[in-house]
Amino acid sequence: MTEILEPQTFRVTRADLVRYAGASGDFNPIHWSERIATGVGLPGVIAHGMFTMALVGRAVTTWAGAADAVKEFSVRFARPVPVPDTDEGTEIVVTATVKEVTEDGETRLALTATCNGDKVLSLAQALVRKR
pTM attached to this predicted model: 0.94
pLDDT digits over 64-105, tens only? 999 999 999 999 999 999 999 999 999 999 999 999 999 999
Q: Which residues pair with 122 in a beta bridge?
A: 76
- Amino acid type, 4: I
What pLDDT, on the 0 to 100 scale, is given for residue 93? 98
As a whole-number percent, the residues of the chain with pLDDT over 70 amount to: 98
What pLDDT, on the 0 to 100 scale, is given for residue 57? 97
In the predicted model, is pLDDT for residue 39 greater than 60? yes
- Between CA 88 and CA 40 the distance in angstroms is 25
In the predicted model, is pLDDT for residue 55 greater than 90? yes
Strands, E assignment, 45-120: 70-77, 90-101, 107-115, 118-119
Predicted confidence band of residue 3 (pLDDT cuts 50, 70, 90): confident
- Between CA 1 and CA 12 the distance in angstroms is 33
In the predicted model, is pLDDT for residue 1 greater than 70? no
Contact 83, 18 (CB under 8 A): no
> What is the average pLDDT across 23-48?
97
- Between CA 33 and CA 46 the distance in angstroms is 9
What pLDDT, on the 0 to 100 scale, is given for residue 4? 84
